[in-house]
Amino acid sequence: MPEPTALQSADALLLPRWLLPMEPAGALLTGHAVAIRSDKILDVGPTDALERRWRPRERVELPEHVLLPGLINAHTHAAMTLLRGIGDDLPLRRWLEEAIWPREAALMSEEFVYDGTLIAAAEMLRGGITTAVDMYFYPEAAARAFTTMGMRSVLGITVIDFPTPYAADADEALAKGLAVRDAWREEPLVSFLLAPHAPYSVGDAALERIATLAAQLDLPVQIHLLETAQEREESHARHGETPLERLDRLGLLGPGLVGVHAVHLTESEIALLAERGVALVHCPTSNMKLASGIAAVPQWLDAGIAVGLGTDGAASNNRLDLFQEIRHAALLAKVSQGRAEVLPAIQALELATIGAARALGLDARLGSIRPGKAADLTAVALDAVETQPCYDPCSHLVFVAGREHVSDVWVAGRRRVANGQLLLQESNSHLTALAQNWRQRIQLQTR
Amino acid sequence: MPEPTALQSADALLLPRWLLPMEPAGALLTGHAVAIRSDKILDVGPTDALERRWRPRERVELPEHVLLPGLINAHTHAAMTLLRGIGDDLPLRRWLEEAIWPREAALMSEEFVYDGTLIAAAEMLRGGITTAVDMYFYPEAAARAFTTMGMRSVLGITVIDFPTPYAADADEALAKGLAVRDAWREEPLVSFLLAPHAPYSVGDAALERIATLAAQLDLPVQIHLLETAQEREESHARHGETPLERLDRLGLLGPGLVGVHAVHLTESEIALLAERGVALVHCPTSNMKLASGIAAVPQWLDAGIAVGLGTDGAASNNRLDLFQEIRHAALLAKVSQGRAEVLPAIQALELATIGAARALGLDARLGSIRPGKAADLTAVALDAVETQPCYDPCSHLVFVAGREHVSDVWVAGRRRVANGQLLLQESNSHLTALAQNWRQRIQLQTR
């Protein structure tokens, strides 16, 4: 914390009723304020001390609000928002092979990705999400869309073994993705990771290349992992080993690897992942809707695995809503373990903030409200009738409030949502018209 | 349908983009309108035919909306909204015995019930719920609150064997409840049912008396049933029979009985309930949060049981939000059965409308949009960015939209919500102040 001798300037002083910094763990503060300057959190402390210490250009009164770190969506496919709700009531493989992949083959383009990502970013920002990890194609288009909306993104350099409109093969996808990473090196809101789609859709050669690149470039790797039981059986049949054995043989099973879904891990696999420092992302709604199963999240956490939460794409969820994922994580953990005390509210909130930041290796910059971290912040109003009365704001954030109660959102110190409305060049009506235009094209092309 | 020879008057003509009448099953209509007069649906049909047939006092354009029957909350404890979120992370019995019953013993009063029910009704109406089945005490206070808010209610004459501030024993509770029923006989928005709390909390004598009264007065009976596995074990220990065997011996296991939760039914018990015409209410969120288990709803439906959905009370959910229950019913059915095709969107919507009406014996008046039925209607706007694009409005109602997208609600032909705002004497700020006042009293009294 700086120790100014005279009153120094801050860009804004935020004055919430409750401050939920997520570090130290479990702290819920009243009478505290947050000062921000430029893109960073400048100071956190008792309101009177901060009032004495800083001269803010703006004071933001949040008298019935909880202020918490901006939520981190640790796994999505943003552009698939244009396919929202297509192919309901199908299990994962049929959903991919019958509903999604044929449409993507016909439709995917730079324009599709840019427009779909714009709409996804609008939905996420308004719902209190300040960072998204995106696994899709045309990362340059996604980078333009996320930065246009003022949202932070971690873009996957996505690799899949069959040809797509984006790339003929894994090598082309990697080459194009790494070129985009070079071109966007100076943009602070954008970073990258390597994203092989899944063990069943990416061959040994590409996975080995990705392991090498990850080590050389110090890039994380995100991969769909054991989302269904079928994946284990197929891996045995095709490779004579489990998916984890295969990833281990190919040099990927270590820190920096982020497995997504991981519904079908054995106990010893959970222990192995913990030992290796592999992180996991839980996507509870997608796992329910596709009938993939219920992940053993409490066991992951007990083993010491870093865990984030993801919405998955809007074609399988069908909301990019982390409040929903937080609630579902808590509810599913309780009912699947048969113990109501499992995954209490504060722990569920960790999954969407500091937990996700740790899982992605971003916890030095994101995930909690501490001086020096990025000023990515979300305020939630708890004064609506349906949120009253309130005995415990943490419980309310998980079990009562929804993204509809998000009032204000800051990303890198800039307010992007105020009073529940996006502050953007891209207006709601423009985005809605864009979506409706795409719906017509998609229905025509895939009739 | 009437066949007027000249243009006749209607109170309103509603012109939605999509009409989801719920009867005939699965119908989704475009270019259709609904005429209402007084408290009833007057006519349903192609817009041009209705325009020729009726001269409405008001035309309501709903250009981006689905119009569906008002949702039916088949099980709640409305006044417990004042205890919203108290006692999180506890299993059912500990939650009741440590968090809820002691507070109720200290607090419960006519004023508590009136104020709590007002707040609950505001939340439910704004969320598209037009009817609630309420199991609580002081039904006269609840009747006043629901009718003040203009919401339809089915009030439980609630019986529990231990003394409460409301009644010393079952006989007093029944006598008081039946007197309230007599006093409110002329109010069309209010009806009654008998509500023994649960087999484990009501003795044989009271259950027998309730069976007799139900037959004499033609009243339905709603009871918490096999919410936890413990209930079966205790019944064996105390009575030497299962809860269902006991209800059967006491004359309750037949049409008119509505079991709530029913998480722990065996296959043969499901067949027995179907054979006897017993209806069930599914409360998926409460069952998850209290770790009670996952009810076998697809098996209930396959057996032919009439099924409704309930929010349960705000102390164990903690939202009175049927959109959430509809989504959870669909998601839980898919993941628990391991089949993504189970409980598709339209079937999930039935549970909250015509299914609930059948379960409660109210399907002659409620649950679908047909001429002659009550004009209880809910409009949901699907033009927000987060609901775009839309390929299938039924899917969107279940997996994308939330109660925050409810724009207009009619109960018995009167508009109670317009553009997402309650049209009420009781303003939001009054209700919020009421809730905050109770929170202070409750925290003081139960410190």
* Cβ-contact B281, B313 below 8 angstroms: no
Task: Assess contact for A219 and A213: CB atoms under 8 A.
Answer: yes
User: Would you say B107 and B115 are in contact if contact means Cβ atoms under 8 Å apart?
Assistant: no
Contact call for residues A125 and A346 (beta carbons, < 8 A): no
A307-309 vs A279-282, strand pairing mode: parallel
Does the structure show a pLDDT above 60 at A4? no
**What pLDDT score was predicted for residue A443?**
85
A391 and B285: CB-CB below 8 Å? no
The angle formed by the CA atoms of residues B299, B301 and B303, to the nearest 5 degrees, is 70
Cα A133 from Cα A72, distance rounded (Å): 8
Yes or no, beta carbons of B84 and A285 under 8 Å apart: no
Q: In sequence order, what are the beta bridge partners of A408?
A: A379
CB environment B343-369: b (16+ within 10 A), e (fewer):
bbbbbbbbbbbbbbbbbbbbbebbbbb
Q: Are A439 and B396 in contact (CB < 8 Å)?
A: no
d(C-alpha B438, C-alpha B418), whole Å: 28
- Strand B8-19 and strand B32-37: pairing? antiparallel
d(CA B75, CA B359): 11
Residue A425 pLDDT: 67
pLDDT band at A96 (very low <50, low <70, confident <90, very high): confident
In sequence order, the β-bridge partners of residue A18 are: A30, A66
Q: 3-class SS at A117?
A: helix
The residues facing B41 across adjacent strands are B36
- Note whether B318 contacts A342, CB cutoff 8 Å: no
- Token pair belonging to B369: 């949009």
With 90 as the cut, is the pLDDT of residue A333 above it?
A: yes
Provide the greatest CA pair distance for chain A.
70
- pLDDT interval class at A427 (50, 70, 90): confident
CB contact under 8 A, A289 and B119: no
Is the bond preceding residue A318 a cis peptide, omega within 30 degrees? yes
Average pLDDT of chain A is: 95
Cβ–Cβ < 8 Å for B83, B314 = yes
The token pair at B130 is 């037009």
A407 neighbors A125 (Cβ within 8 angstroms):
no
Q: Rounded distance, CA A150 to CA A297, Å? A: 32
- How far, in Å, CA of A57 to CA of B119, rounded? 39
Q: Is A405 in contact with A381 (CB distance < 8 Å)?
A: yes
- As a residue count, chain B comes to 447
Q: Which residues of chain B make contact with A399, given a CB cutoff of 8 A?
A: 85, 88, 289, 317-319
Residues in chain A with CB shorter than 8 Å from the CB of B389 are 82, 84, 435-436, 438-439, 442
The count of residues in chain A is 447
pLDDT for the residue B444: 80
Cβ-contact A88, A97 below 8 angstroms: no
Which domains occur in chain A, in start order?
Answer: 8-69+372-412 (2.30.40.10), 71-359 (3.20.20.140)
Interface test with B, best of A335, A383, A423, A428 (most B CBs within 10 A): A335
CA distances (Å), B193 to each of B136, B224, B257, B359, in order? 11, 14, 10, 13
In total, the C-beta contacts within 8 angstroms joining chain A to chain B are: 195
Residues of A with Cβ-Cβ distance to B443 under 8 angstroms: 391
* pLDDT for the residue A2: 53
Helix (H) or strand (E) holding A191: strand A190-196
The C-alpha atoms of residue B335 and residue B274 are separated, in whole angstroms, by 24
Does ipTM come in above 0.85? yes
Q: Are strands B421-422 and B414-418 parallel, antiparallel or unpaired?
A: antiparallel
Question: pLDDT value at position B5?
Answer: 56
CA distance A255 to chain B (A): 31
Contact A161, A136 (CB under 8 A): no
Residues B438, A344: C-beta atoms closer than 8 Å = no
Minimal CA separation from A194 to chain B, in Å: 28
Q: Do B319 and A400 touch (CB under 8 A)?
A: yes
Ranges of residues in chain B whose predicted pLDDT is under 50: none
Q: State the average pLDDT over residues A179-206.
A: 97
pLDDT at A53 > cutoff 90: yes
Residue B107, both tokens = 């607090």
* pLDDT (tens digit per residue) in A273-306: 999 999 999 999 999 999 999 999 999 999 999 9
As a whole number, mean pLDDT of residues A317-335 equals 97
Task: Tell me which chain B residue has its CA closest to the CA of residue A393.
Answer: B85
Among B292, B395, B438, beta carbon nearest to A88: B395
Composition of chain B by helix, strand, coil, percent to 5: 40, 25, 35
- The sign of the dihedral angle between the CA atoms of B12, B13, B15, B20 is positive
Contact in structure between A323 and A127 (CB atoms under 8 Å): yes
Q: How far is A171 from chain B (nearest CA, A)?
A: 33
The whole-number average pLDDT for the span A355-361 is 98
* DSSP H helical ranges for A20-66: 47-53
Residues in chain B within 8 Å Cβ distance of A285: 331
For residue B406, give how far its alpha carbon lies from the nearest alpha carbon of chain A (Å): 12
Give me the pLDDT at residue A6, please.
63
Contact B385 A291 (CB under 8 A): no
Distance CA B19, CA B16 (A): 6
Residue A288 has its nearest CB partner, among B335, B392, B442, at: B335
Q: In chain B, which residue's Cα lies nearest the Cα of A404?
A: B404
Of A340, A431, A438, the CB nearest to B290: A340
Question: CA-CA distance, A116 to A435, in Å (whole number)?
Answer: 8
Q: What is the helix (H) or strand (E) element at residue A221, kind and residue range?
A: strand A221-225
Mean pLDDT of A256-281: 98
Residue of B228, B232, B352, B206 whose CA lies nearest to B281: B352
CB contact under 8 A, B386 and A86: no
| Helix axes of A110-126 and A428-445: crossing angle, nearest 10 degrees | 140
User: Two tokens at A42?
Assistant: 């400048």
- Does A386 contact B320 at a Cβ distance shorter than 8 Å? yes
CA of B127 vs chain A CAs: smallest distance (Å):
9
How far B7 CA sits from the closest chain A CA (Å)?
Answer: 38
What are phi and psi for residue A216, nearest 5 degrees?
-65, -45
